[in-house]
Amino acid sequence: MNDVHERLRLLPELIEHQRVRTTPVKANDFAMPLASASAGSATAQRLTFDDGSSLFAKIAEDPRPGHLAAEANGLRWLGEACEAVVEVRYADDRLLVEPWIEPTGPTPEHARELGRQLAFMHRAGAERFGAPWRGHIGEAFMDNEPSGGTWAEWYAARRIAPYLGPSRDNGALDAADAAAVERLAARLPELAGPEEPPARTHGDLWWGNVLWGAERAWLIDPAAHGGHRETDLANLRLWGGTPLLAAIFDGYAEVGPPAAGWEERTGLHQLFPLLVHTTLYGRAFRDQLMGIVSHFTKLSY
């Protein structure tokens, strides 16, 4: 079976009947970064064919309509504007297939080019804040519906408010914590900096969603939507930060530097991923979240 298109068309059947070798990709494997080891209820597999070629696949153990489709939609949409976005080879509710990329160490050249590509992607823009597809981020929901006319209004309504109830219910936040987050959300219009049109954003761009390959650095596992470009830049700093971050930012600035003061606003954009984590994992992420809330609460404008 040498025809690539025919092989991709038959992939679900080949996997089901064990005509292609599948090797689990574990979270601590060198073969792929942590974020690619799972996506919601999907498991990661390396697919190896008789000719020795490989593909990367996410296979849903309990398929949820739209979950893998949202990721595929996001990859295709981002890829229209960014050469660094991994290609979708096949997608349905059960299966998402991408090229297999052997990792290498990060290099300054690849980091700068990643920054440039990220800027091109953001500059391509979006019709509105949010997206026309139902969103997912890991096991959590992500509301991509419109709300308000500005990013600050949309972010408060769609990226902060929906996660406060679940975070209270699971004990991650108490009533006082949730009220403090709500007060900060109400101040977003004055804290968010210059108003910008919707950017085409990755939406979950922490270091685990950057795959360093031999040819370039690749963007994987998006929660893509029309958002604020500073969100992607802020998320690159999360969980210890992406390697060669200064080089990434230098490349980004070559194409279109962010608005003045963007680094001081980093915490505002990190509220969303931290609230996702308090929703999914409980109180372990409470202190990091509330530290950001406390920082901005003390600021006066």
- Distance, in Å, from the CA atom of 107 to the CA atom of 244, rounded to the nearest integer, reads 8
Res 298: pLDDT? 80
Mean of per-residue pLDDT scores for the chain: 87
Start-to-end Cα distance in the chain: 65
Enumerate the domain spans of the chain. Answer: 4-99, 108-297
- Distance, in Å, from the CA atom of 141 to the CA atom of 144, rounded to the nearest integer, reads 10
The CATH code for residues 4-99 is 3.30.200.20
Res 139: pLDDT? 81
Nearest of 12, 29, 33 to residue 96 by alpha carbon: 12
Residue 265 backbone phi and psi in degrees, to 5: -95, 0
Tell me whether residue 220 is exposed, middle or buried, using C-beta atoms within 10 angstroms of its C-beta: 0 to 12, 13 to 18, 19 or more.
Answer: buried
Nearest of 60, 90, 56 to residue 76 by alpha carbon: 90
Average pLDDT over residues 18-32: 59
DSSP-based three-state secondary structure for 214: coil
Average pLDDT over residues 75-92: 95
pLDDT higher than threshold 50 for residue 254: yes
Span 157-196, pLDDT tens digits: 999 999 999 999 999 999 999 999 999 999 999 999 999 9
Of 40-44, 49-53, 218-222, 267-271, where does mean pLDDT reach its minimum? 40-44
pLDDT higher than threshold 80 for residue 31: no
Res 46: pLDDT? 87
The CATH code for residues 108-297 is 3.90.1200.10
Assigned token pair, 266: 């980093």
Span 191-208, pLDDT tens digits: 999 999 999 999 999 999
User: Comparing 32 with 273, which gets the higher pLDDT?
Assistant: 273
pLDDT higher than threshold 70 for residue 299: no
Q: Can you state the percent helix, strand and coil of the chain, rounding each to 5?
A: 45, 15, 35
Containing 166, the helix (H) or strand (E) segment is helix 161-169
DSSP 283: G
